Structure 1
Amino acid sequence: MSESQLNRFSVISKVIDGHLTIADASVSLGISERQILRLKKGVILEGAAFLIHKNTNRKPKHALDNELVEKVISLKQSDLYNSANFVHFQELLERQESIKINYSALHSTLTQAGIKSPKKRRRFKPHRRRKRKSQAGLLVQMDATPFEWFGDFNKFALHGAIDDATGNIVGLYMTKNECLHGYWEVTRQVLFNHGIPVSLYTDRHAIFLSTNASKLTVEDQLAGRVVNDTQFGRAMNELGITLIPARSPQAKGRVERLWETLQSRLPVEFKIAGISTIDEANEFLTRYIPLFNASFSVEPDNAESAFRPLSPNLNPDTVLCVKLRRSVDAGGVFSFYNRHFKVITEPGLPLLPPKAKITVLVSPSLGIKVQFKNTLFDVLPYIKAKRITEPKTAANSLDKKHWQPPDSHYYKYGHNLMKKVTFEDSNSDILMMLESIFLKKYA
């Protein structure tokens, strides 16, 4: 018997012997006189055992089976699930192992086994929470985060976009580093899967906002001076999307908290699916987004979506690309990134006049196109004849070896991410040019 049960038996015994009144016993034990009479009767009939609760040392009916408890603990300690937090582990048990268990029971089981959740809880920090937008599509937050997604020491950048009103992920795409190509692939997912949002909330990265924007003084702004849009900003203007640059990470806290969640969950999901490359990850992310949204999305105040449908006349490939102005010569040849291309004119297409101002469109999915008066033209690489020059003698020339970058060099990754274009992809000069445009590191 416990100490409290022994104390209760001592008081009831004094009541039975007549050494203590029922009223005094009631005050001493803090229970009603009716309970004192019930306990007195029970002790007289059954003895001290009456004071022991009948469920003592009995396993509750709703308790987990010992075999199930051992299996859950074993799975959590395995290499596959050991890095999953408790909530994520509960979802994985139901999805992967067909084990449905209440979270409180799971938490008690694991903590009693000495297992702690890898999800660290930081101390509560009060802040003013901005109210969500009322409709889906009014505001989409976009960002990228570098992380060791595959459990090794290699970091890759995951680009993503989340709807402010619903908390739905509307786009995810992984590349080697944060780059224009990654953001455009996320934008492409948003456009095709949801439509055109009203506004985008981003940071002040050079991809979104020119570095010269911070150099404008008040006098410059009053004088009407502006800086040129970046290629991303120009594309958003063509789509009618308002680009809002945030001044702090806390301002776009929705997407910052998304990274915290994905950094906890995705490495476990990749390990379970056996994913270790960027291409496999991007294919997996298209299937993972609906699963994530089913667990974390919320209902907006207004069920009507603010996403605008894509116009049938709009080709996103002609918007999500780099656009630069050039001039053609009398033969339809123009120079671009120290290379020459010839515009292909076909029957039925307008002719390009000499010295015509054209717009060159470049992207991994579009290749290289030329736009003139809303008409697209294909191009071909053109090699101009070189002038014959006298060769240098060995006396006045240095024996220089051509330097070739190693396979680990930054500009050598990403070839397999680029789709086939209109000319031969084996042309190393063309590939180098595309990489210098889309896969470069921004300041």
Structure 2
Amino acid sequence: MGLIAMSERDLQRIEILSKVIADRMTMVSAAHVLDLSTRQVRRLLERIRTGGAASIRHKAIGRPSNNRISDGVRDYAMTLVRERYTDFGPTLAAEKLSERDGLRVSRETLRGWMTEAGLWLSRKQRRTFHQPRLRREAYGELVQIDGSEHRWFEDRGDPCSLLVFVDDATGRLMQLGFVRSESAFSYFEALALYLKRHGAPVAFYSDKHSVFRVAKKDARGGQGMTQFGRALCELNIEILCANSSQAKGRVERMNRTLQDRLVKELRLADIGDMEAGNAFLPDFMEDYNARFAVTPARLDDLHRPLNLAPDRLTEILCKREQRYVGSQLTFSFERKRIMLEETEVTRGLVGRYVETYAYADGRLDVRWKGYSLPYTVFDKDQRVTHAAITENKRLSDVLAYIKERQEQLPTPKVKTNSEKNGYTPRGRKPGRGRDFMNDPAVIARRQKALSGLDAAE
């Protein structure tokens, strides 16, 4: 006889029953230790005497279950899963097998089948690991940027977003700013302050927000880059987009730290609006950097000074687009019609493209080969009722704008059905609950009728 595998419970039973056989323990004590009845202990002793210690094992060990699903049903279910539900999870696949194919299989049974067939991986098997990355060696070599939407002022003000610039080599807070939402203009303003204060870094590291990366692969305009990416290209600054949140973990952890420390500092200073908050941030950054910034591996500062005129920087940090001029010397811009004034220059622009410069303060400049063109705006005052595509991070700003426009419009008067049909009450009919006996009009008509009858008689 070869080796026989036994469970720990069977080995314990054999040890206790051998003591009973050797008269070192009573049957009642053995039943108490094994948590069995005396009759069951007597049966086990009889099995040991006749079949040996191996007979203690359960008879069903190594045998298939009597309630097992047949191999034919299993093969049929897995065939359906491979043909129709390859990318389904076990729960959804079990529901569809029951609804569409009339095959009822529990989700856990189907999970085991799909795991054995290699069609499903458990959460542990699907887990991915992000290896730690060393800091950059020099200050200004890589700056991580991100926006964090939070109730920074708690109940004292509205929620807003905080733009965070963190140096990767030192962990220093380079730039902070409260804005209503993450947009190209808000990042332009933060970038302008950063460049004036520190200079141009080698590269920025961000997520895949549409401000930094073109979401559509087949986008027509922009030459494959966003307005922010175009501005960084003109400033000779590289932009890198992370594939996951863990890749830019330094700024993500900084957001979590600021949501704890900065919120409490604003509470102690009794600050409840963005203007006062932005005035408070420089002192907060100086104190934070003095306490928590680290020394880089190299002491070089890779920030480059900006040799640009202020007007040139303003022209770079704006939205620049090309617009087609129609036969009426007009073109569309943000749901408005821009009408170029007729001059010697604009007469030859029909069928050509002009360049628009949209600034953060609302100004719009239309240019042709660097020459500014005079224009007028024809606005139809369209209401925001169309189905516009809105990013999640700009939803709060868009809803606030819609609410502001709705409050400006007059409240519509709701007409009743009688007013819609043109009915006007004449006031001669007695209404409900009216006293007919004492109504002067009814009494006058009754007296007139009676006098007519007396005259006829």
TM-score, normalised via structure 1 length: 0.51
| Residue aligning to 1:229 | 225
Question: How do 1:44-193 and structure 2 match up within 5 A?
Answer: 128-152=131-155, 155-193=159-197
Deviations along 1:250-285, one digit per CA (max 9) or x if unpaired, are 111111121122111111111122211122222222
| Residue aligning to 1:325 | 322
8 Å contact kept, 2:245–2:252: yes
Q: Give me the whole-angstrom Cα distance separating, in 2, the residues matched to 1:345 and 1:163.
A: 51
8 Å contact kept, 2:181–2:397: no
| Residue aligning to 2:242 | 246
8 Å contact kept, 1:174–1:182: no
**2:349 is equivalent to residue 354 of structure 1:** yes
8 Å contact kept, 1:360–1:368: yes
Deviations along 1:37-76, one digit per CA (max 9) or x if unpaired, are xxxxxxxxxxxxxxxxxxxxxxxxxxxxxxxxxxxxxxxx
Q: Give me the whole-angstrom Cα distance separating, in 2, the residues matched to 1:352 and 1:138.
A: 49
| Residue aligning to 1:259 | 255
| Residue aligning to 1:277 | 273
Q: What displacement does 1:374 show?
A: 3.4
| Residue aligning to 2:213 | 209
Deviations along 1:414-443, one digit per CA (max 9) or x if unpaired, are 89xxxxxxxxxxxx99xxxxxxxxxxxxxx
Q: 1:270 to 1:344 in 2, by over 3 A?
A: farther
| Residue aligning to 2:297 | 301
Q: What displacement does 1:238 show?
A: 1.8
Q: 1:409 to 1:261 in 2, by over 3 A?
A: closer
Deviations along 1:65-124, one digit per CA (max 9) or x if unpaired, are xxxxxxxxxxxxxxxxxxxxxxxxxxxxxxxxxxxxxxxxxxxxxxxxxxxxxxxxxxxx
Q: What displacement does 1:165 show?
A: 1.5
The two structures, once aligned, show a CA RMSD in angstroms of 3.7
Q: Give me the whole-angstrom Cα distance separating, in 2, the residues matched to 1:149 and 1:139.
A: 27
Q: Give me the whole-angstrom Cα distance separating, in 2, the residues matched to 1:307 and 1:190.
A: 11
Q: 1:359 to 1:188 in 2, by over 3 A?
A: same
**2:198 is equivalent to residue 194 of structure 1:** yes
Q: 1:317 to 1:326 in 2, by over 3 A?
A: same
AA matched with 1:237: C
Q: What displacement does 1:140 show?
A: 0.7
Which blocks of at least 5 consecutive residues in structure 2 are unaligned? 1-128, 386-394, 403-407, 410-457
Q: What displacement does 1:202 show?
A: 0.6
AA matched with 1:319: I
The structure with more radius of gyration: 2
* SS of match in other structure, 2:247: helix
| Residue aligning to 1:337 | 334
Q: Please say which of residues 370-379 and 204-213 is displaced more in the overlay.
A: 370-379
8 Å contact kept, 1:212–1:227: no
Q: What displacement does 1:351 show?
A: 7.2
Q: 1:184 to 1:323 in 2, by over 3 A?
A: same
AA matched with 1:169: L
Q: What displacement does 1:380 show?
A: 4.2
8 Å contact kept, 2:181–2:396: no
Q: 1:327 to 1:297 in 2, by over 3 A?
A: same
8 Å contact kept, 1:173–1:185: no
Identity of matched residues, %: 30
AA matched with 2:175: G
* SS of match in other structure, 2:286: helix
Which blocks of at least 5 consecutive residues in structure 1 are unaligned? 1-125, 217-225, 385-400, 416-427, 430-443
Q: 1:185 to 1:311 in 2, by over 3 A?
A: same
Q: What displacement does 1:331 show?
A: 8.0
AA matched with 1:172: L
Q: 1:410 to 1:161 in 2, by over 3 A?
A: closer
AA matched with 1:277: D
Q: What displacement does 1:304 show?
A: 2.6
Q: What displacement does 1:194 show?
A: 0.9
Q: What displacement does 1:342 show?
A: 4.7
* SS of match in other structure, 2:188: helix
AA matched with 2:147: A
Q: Which residue, out of 397, 411, 414, partners 2:398? A: 411
**2:284 is equivalent to residue 288 of structure 1:** yes
| Residue aligning to 1:39 | none
Q: What displacement does 1:378 show?
A: 6.4
Q: What displacement does 1:362 show?
A: 1.0
Larger helix proportion, structure 1 or 2?
Answer: 2
8 Å contact kept, 2:321–2:356: yes
Q: Give me the whole-angstrom Cα distance separating, in 1, the residues matched to 2:384 and 2:190.
A: 38
8 Å contact kept, 1:317–1:365: no
AA matched with 2:357: L
AA matched with 1:321: C
TM-score, normalised via structure 2 length: 0.49
Q: What displacement does 1:288 show?
A: 2.4
| Residue aligning to 2:425 | none
AA matched with 1:186: A
Q: What displacement does 1:319 show?
A: 1.7
Q: Give me the whole-angstrom Cα distance separating, in 2, the residues matched to 1:254 and 1:410.
A: 27
Moved over 6 A (4+): 349-352
Larger relative contact order, structure 1 or 2 (CA cutoff 8 Å, min sep 6): 1
Q: 1:383 to 1:200 in 2, by over 3 A?
A: closer
| Residue aligning to 1:25 | none
Q: What displacement does 1:373 show?
A: 2.2
AA matched with 1:162: V
AA matched with 1:250: Q
